[in-house]
Structures are given as structure tokens and as C-alpha cells.
Amino acid sequence: MPRSKTNDKRVLVIGLGRFGGSLAEELVAHGWEVLGVDSNPRRVQSYADSLTHTMVADTTDDETLRQIGAHEFTRAVVAIGTHLEESILTTSLLVDMGVPYIWAKAISRRHGRILQQIGAHHVVLPEHDMGERVAHLLSGRMLDYVEIEENFALGKTRAPKEILGRKLGETGVRSSHGITVVSIKRHGESFTYATADTVPQRGDIIIVAGKTNDVEKFAELS
């Protein structure tokens, strides 16, 4: 009986460098069956004991991809790093095979645009995204920062003085600052949803959502 797309917990990870290797190991730790593939035999050998299956293969060759069963996977990750041609060719072949969900690593925004244009469903820029995140944390008052998409972000910060002791619905932060408080954490407690009736207190940690510049400016108030 064929597996459904939602219940199929098999992933093909192509490229076992630092990003692909750590991703593959994390997936295995979460109960996924991972086939890790790389053209470097030494790299493949280093993951032989930690991944479900490993294989040495040239994934820029259509016949080789079919032999390893790439077309049978619902999810595939192209984690090839510095070799742009290999990354693009491998992604293109997976698209042609009809793999439903393809994640591809890019090393630049231009590389990412090419991967999207040829059909990758999700493009990640781990080095760029991490550098951008650290830059935001170093240069501002945010405790954490995640860009959801270009020019829209989530920011973790301390509740600023101007909203303390007042219901969020009465503070007007959405109209005055362009952000929405989506979650709040009291001292010693876990994060919970923020509502219009939530009253922030001194020392509370909040998560706000909005355009990147608005999130940054609001965090500076803390």
C-alpha cells in the first residue's frame, strides 16, 4: 500500500556538508528515515553509522538519481554548498522527476532566485540568514529575531514601559507602531498567546510580529 504524502517520513538529503549532515542527523533524531547522498566517499562514510542509509553518488546524472530511488521520495533536500552547477542540476532533475517537496540550500540570493525559478519549493540561505539574525541581535535590543519572509519578522524583546500595566487592546501598538504582540512570557512561566485583554508587566518577555523595520524600532523602546 503506497504511503501518503503526509505520512511518508522518508527524506532524501543530497549533500552531507555541515548543513546537510547536521540536518540529516536532526531528522533521524526526530524519527525520520533519511537517505544521505554525497559524491565524496569519505564524507558519506562519516555519516554511515548515524543516518538510516547513505550512498555515494553523482546526483547531477538523471539515471543515477533514478537508481537510488530519488523519484520515490516525497521530500528531498538539496544541501550542496559551493558547487552551484551541481546544486542547480540536481534540483532541476528532482523537479523533472516530480518530487512533491524540494528544499534547496542557496549560498546567495541570486542562487536562491535561480533555484526558485527552476522549481524548488523552498529555498534556504543558512549562512546569510544566520548572519542577518546575529546582526539584528548585536545592533539592537532584541533577544531573538526570525525573518519569516523578506521584510516581515518576529522579534523577541522585553515589554517596553509604554505598554506596562495596560491591556494590549488599549495600547494601540498596532496603529502607533505597526506591530502585533502575539505571545507573552511571565517570569518563571512559559510563553502563552497574547490577547487584547493581556496586561504586560515589568520583566515580561514578548514576541511581536510586523514589518522588519517596525519590529526593530519597537524593540528599541524596551
Using CA atoms, how far apart are residues 127 and 107, in angstroms rounded to an integer? 7
Confidence of residue 172 (pLDDT cuts 50, 70, 90): very high
Q: Is the dihedral of CA 50, 53, 39, 95 positive or negative?
A: negative
All structural domains of the chain: 10-124 (3.40.50.720), 129-220 (3.30.70.1450)
What does the block give as the cell for 107?
549560498
pLDDT tens-place string over residues 3-51 = 455 578 999 999 999 999 999 999 999 999 999 999 999 999 999 999 9
pLDDT tens-place string over residues 59-69 = 999 999 999 99
Q: What is the pTM of this model?
A: 0.71
pLDDT for residue 139: 67
Mean residue pLDDT of the chain comes to: 91
Cβ neighbours around 23 below 10 Å, total: 23
Using CA atoms, how far apart are residues 192 and 122, in angstroms rounded to an integer? 29
Using CA atoms, how far apart are residues 180 and 210, in angstroms rounded to an integer? 7
